[in-house]
Structure 1
């Protein structure tokens, strides 16, 4: 009941603006005050390659002039946090001037002369569906849309670089660039006393595009009439060759791609202009100004509720199975075991007790444990051997493994570091979900989710070292410093190697998605200079000060021979079957996560309250699945459960990666080898993180379960 109440409290927090904290970092402006406009990057749903806006050769370059409202010169970059750099942001000051409350019908930005090579780049951007991101008052510029029934308005972040059309007669593609931008800033009176003093806050930033040809322009470069544009700005340069000019004199001709490959020195002038309009809007609260970026919130809520109901049904069924195992099966096994031990103790007492002065009557439980747990035989007493064998006839299944169940696993020196890194990820995930559900990590904190996640991961090196050191000593390890080094390098090193390899491909594309060399050096310094010492401290405390966990039974010298096992408890089959259940818990929510990250124009996932609830149910499901799987394995007299519990816990990551592949080929339209490589590379890293986290949960759950059931035998 308490668990259910806490789940609904988390859910309620998600519904109460979980993605935004009202009143946090409110900035107001007065009439006539300049507001800087920042440009960021261009991106597309059809590719994973992003580019800095000012790196495009067909865009007006920055002039380097100083503008009011900003201490930066145009073209200078603002300082970015680690999360912004990792997500490919490149935010710089622009030459566009915005003044609160001042409309500007038309301003000429520049006339950019491009070569045929630059023209091909522009056509590639338009063909790829690239959109540009501008920023005003920390709001990304957006294109406004309405729902099909025209009942609600919503935003798609960014604005299109251009569009393409198809000639009806020839069927050839023609490309046009959007060279005039209409900027609409919506504002309202600032809250509290600031509003009484004339302060205003920005609540929306809209950008509308238009393609305007070079004809019929005024002296300042602005079009004569923006309301009626006869000829759009086509990305086409006529060939310089006389033969081509005479052969294709019609203006409607669009040449084949092969005719655009050569550079004959021809150029094209693209005039860029913009307009600015300020509109007061009292319908949008400042605290809710991000709401319009989230599409289909009502439908999304239904999906989340469906995901939670689905998760509760699966988890509830598993809970009933686990309760039956714990309350009936295991309790009955322990009772039978104790009765057999008691009878064996009584029979030994009758045979071995001798009358005499000073003779002590042995305790029944002591004799029972000596006879059954240590299996001490007496070669000189055939009656005792026969009695032990008769007592063990009723002892079957997991009870026979008391001498082998806590035997150190093979390659324990790798399992201990993995468990330590898994606890590091558990701490990071819990911290991120908690801060996001409270609204501290929200879309206005650009790059905050990744930056805080990296910080939590580095700090959690203490937990990584502690658990790795304790598990390593429990396995009987001697060289704890070597274990510390492996813990601090194994998983972080794998992630860094994957990021570096992917970065090489992105560097070759000159994309802003590539991490700068300085950022890579900063990540290495965080890794080696901060995390590694923290792992060392945690490992020293876990190995030296705390020590190993005590086991309720002793491990025998000789290994027990493993019996034949049915197909469904073979390692691979049982791991994959067990992993399917946690995947069934999260796959509905996973669909919404993928849709938010890969398909929605906003690109923001915001319902962390729902995600927290599903995550709690997921952890419970993994714990229950692991208990059932390990119990079946022990009942089959197989004591190799250490690695098995870890793999069972993380097995759903295999299904998640398969889901990623299905989503890529069925739902997405990503083009290009590098983009596909980035998609699967990112998904593989995410699945490794998810699998390691869940595997650690499964391992610790199984360890606690095994200690509990074998401790219950020894207790009496």
Structure 2
């Protein structure tokens, strides 16, 4: 028992250490081989091809291992969180040494093993492996669809031969192609069956440089299609149009309002009452009133600012470092940068909270540090429980969970607290241009489409319209294992999204204030944040119309992690909308002369 506890502690500390100090390192190999040097084939997972996230350890199926020493392989926390537990296959491959029909191992299957293998073949199970960090995949077997109507049960065959075609340039591997063959039938009536698994290796020279070897795995015809370019261009034009329209409308309208107010200053009270007395100036005594649920709003502002900064940093870092070419590196880097940006969340939240006179800053810090990790814990915990029930490789081991908890306790929370202390003591100033009236001004009745709920519901359409094409490419990449590499497109769309959100929030708030409704704080936040609801609705359409996903595990995984994506969009766009609106409100009211 003590040995097991020590082993868990050692694993936890090792994963934490590797995460913090070896995030962007590649494999432990330098990808340089000498003739005759071992090339390890790491077996990863196996699972149904239509449910790409429903994965299981490769040797959970009745495959056998080679004679080489079997080793488990972890590099980063990202791999552990994505269920990558690479195991040495034991396939004896030596650099530049051809092999023809060599035996890997022999496996004796009983009737239960045969039925398990038949189930895998019938459900189109495929496996993934890595050779020199290059992903390789193949089907477990093949069902005889030609005899679908003639035979019952359906004849099933398992592939027992792996043909590796490895292209090399000098002392480096450039590409690996796998061809499966030698079909062996799996009769359901047999009580025992012996399978002999074999492999062959063919080496081919190539002139392709090592630096560009990953490009042949990228589907340029899909991601760089004319539709993708057209969507980027149309979104950019929409931003130009919307920004110009907002600028013209607001400049002309506010200029007219200022002229009218200045003209009315020379009138008597009786004349002013008979005049056109309405508009955003009338709520100057309430517009800077403390918003309801201040602590929650300030925590969402802190989390949103952190996520905006995190998203921008990760996209730029991925563009610079080509992180998509390394296993789970983007996830590992995201965790690392999320930890570092925790200071921003604490600073933003505490500064906003204190600017409106908030006093319970300790609870504010705890809520800010916990709001996003708490949602990840609840949803991730549910999905992980389902993965454990299905014995999936996606189940996160307890030592890895301890590592994540340690990162939050010893890094995220202290940095959030430090940011809150700085924001509360040096960043918060209550310097609103207008004083707040002791009694709130009554809110006049409005037409139904000018009510805050309708503005919020309609406000998320334009931001969603600017990104829904890119959302399609991102969904297709993540849920079908295409390698997303056009992060330049993503950066441009991200900037467009922020600009559209800021414009929409400002316009919505102006219309609200002009109807003498001072409840702009939550409206400016939720108007843009409602885009997350449209994203989640689109994910439902994508699940039903574009995928063939089935089963409780895949459904839980899909909608659980899509909910986390929607939450991130909710916080990010809510922060952008509210921050832009806050600058706008302060600007227009500081230029108004209040009697």
State if a TM-score over 0.5 links the two structures: yes
- The equivalent of 1:235 in structure 2 is 186
1:629 aligns with 2:508: yes
How far 1:29 sits from its partner (Å)?
1.9
Aligned to 1:114, the other structure's residue is in SS state strand
**Conserved? CA contact 1:303–1:589, under 8 Å:** no
CA distance in 1, matches of 2:227, 2:217: 18
Residue number among 109, 112, 118 corresponding to 1:114 in the alignment: 109
In the other structure, the counterpart of 1:506 is: 387
Tell whether 2:256 aligns with 1:332: yes
What does 1:306-317 correspond to in 2, within 5 Å?
Answer: 306-317=230-241
* Distance change in 2, residues 1:516/1:617 (3 Å): same
Question: Is the Cα contact below 8 Å between 1:470 and 1:549 reproduced in 2?
Answer: no
Query: Does the Cα contact within 8 Å between 1:237 and 1:268 map onto a contact in 2?
Result: no
The Cα shift of 1:472 comes to 0.5
1:133: which partner in 2? Answer: 128
Partner of 1:268: 193
Asked if 1:584 corresponds to 2:564, the answer is no
Match of 1:469 among 350, 357, 362: 350
Of the candidates 578, 584, 590, which is equivalent to residue 699 of structure 1? 578
Matches within 5 A, 1:355-434: 386-387=269-270, 390=272, 393-434=275-316
Cα distance in structure 1, aligned partners of 2:500 and 2:125? 42
Q: CA deviation at 1:299?
A: 6.2
- Cα deviation for residue 80 of structure 1 reads 2.5
Structure number having the greater helix percentage: 2
| Superposition map of 1:75-154 within 5 A | 75-141=70-136
Aligned in 2, Cα 1:545/1:169: closer, same or farther, shift over 3 Å?
closer
Give the C-alpha shift of residue 390 in structure 1. 2.1
* Structure 1 residue runs of 4 or more that deviate by more than 6 Å after TM superposition: none
Aligned: 1:39 with 2:49:
no
Q: Alpha carbons of 1:113 and 1:298: their partners in 2 closer, same or farther (altered >3 Å)? A: closer
State the Cα distance separating 1:117 from its structure 2 match: 2.1
| C-alpha distance 562-168 of structure 1, shift in aligned 2 (>3 A) | closer
Deviation at 1:413, TM superposition (A): 1.2
- Aligned CA distance change for structure 1 residues 649 and 25 (closer, same or farther; 3 Å): farther
User: The residue matched to 1:289 in structure 2 has which SS?
Assistant: helix
Within-5 A mapping of 1:584-623: 584-599=465-480, 602-623=481-502
Q: CA deviation at 1:392?
A: 8.0
Judged with a 3 Å threshold, the aligned counterparts in structure 2 of structure 1 residues 480 and 299 are, in CA distance, closer, same or farther, namely closer
* Cα separation, partners in 2 of 1:469 and 1:169, compared to 1, 3 Å: closer
Alignment equivalent of 1:27, drawn from 25, 31, 51: 31
Partners of 1:614 and 1:546 lie apart in 2 by 31
Q: 1:647 to 1:45 in 2, by over 3 A?
A: farther
Change (3 A) 1:709 1:453: same
Please name the residue that 1:163 is paired with.
142
Residue 339 of structure 1 and its aligned partner are, at CA, apart by 2.6
TM-aligned CA deviation for residue 454 of structure 1: 0.9
Number of aligned residue pairs: 568
Q: State whether residues 420 and 467 of structure 1, in contact with CA within 8 Å, keep that contact through their aligned partners in structure 2.
A: yes
The CA distance in 2 between the partners of 1:450 and 1:88, in whole Å, is 12
Change (3 A) 1:582 1:21: farther
Residue aligning to 2:215 = 291
- Contact 2:223-2:473 within 8 A present in 1 as well: no
SS at match of 1:603: coil
Which deviates more, 510-519 or 33-42? 33-42
Deviations 1:115-161 (A, max 9, x none): 222222222222232221221111112xxxxxxxxxxxxxxxx1111
Greater alpha carbon shift after TM alignment, 299-308 vs 521-530 = 299-308
* Offset from partner CA, 1:176-200 (integer Å, 9 cap, x none): 11111001110113xxxxxxxxxx2
Change (3 A) 1:715 1:634: closer
Cα deviation 1:581-630 (Å, max 9, x = unaligned):
1111111111111222223xx53111000110111111100111111111
Q: Give the structure 2 partner of residue 50 of structure 1.
A: 55
| CA contact 1:462–1:537 (8 Å) conserved in 2 | yes
Structure 1 residues 120, 237: CA separation in 2 closer, same or farther (over 3 Å shift)? closer
Contact 2:324 2:483 in 1 (8 A): no
Distance 1:705 1:133 in 2: 53
Match of 2:169 among 188, 197, 200: 188
CA distance in 2: counterparts of 1:203 and 1:235, whole angstroms: 36
Which string of whole-angstrom CA distances, capped at 9 and with x for unpartnered residues, describes residues 523-562 of structure 1?
Answer: 1111122111111110111112222352111110111111
Q: Deviations over 1:240-263 (max 9, x none)?
A: xxxxxxxxxxxxxxxxxxxxxxxx
Matched residue, 2:9: none
Pairwise CA distance, 1:297 = 3.1
Shift of 1:480: 1.1
Please state how far the C-alpha of 1:713 moved relative to its aligned partner: 1.4
- How far residue 464 of structure 1 moved from its aligned partner, in angstroms, is 0.4
How much has 1:171 moved relative to structure 2? 4.9
- Per-residue deviation, residues 635-688 of structure 1 (Å, max 9, x unmatched): 111110111111112111111111100010011001112211111111111111
Structure 2: give runs of 5+ residues left out of the alignment.
1-23
Shift of 1:30: 2.6
The corresponding residue for 1:368 is none
Q: What RMSD over aligned residues (CA atoms) do the two structures have, in Å?
A: 2.2
CA distance in 1, matches of 2:148, 2:542: 34
**CA positional deviation for 1:449:** 0.4
Per-residue deviation, 1:277: 0.8
Q: State how far apart, in whole Å, the 2-side matches of 1:432 and 1:299 are.
A: 20
Equivalent position of 2:567 in the other structure: 688
Distance across 1 between alignment mates of 2:274 and 2:415: 50
Q: Secondary structure at the match of 1:670?
A: coil
1:411 Cα deviation (Å)? 0.7
| TM-score between both structures, scaled by the size of structure 2 | 0.91
What is aligned with 2:543? Answer: 664
The alignment's TM-score, normalised by the length of structure 1, stands at 0.76
Cα-to-partner distance string for 1:269-327 (whole Å, 9 max, x where unaligned): 12111111111122x23222112212243762423311211201221221122111232
CA distance in 2: counterparts of 1:119 and 1:549, whole angstroms: 73
Contact 2:74 2:84 in 1 (8 A): no
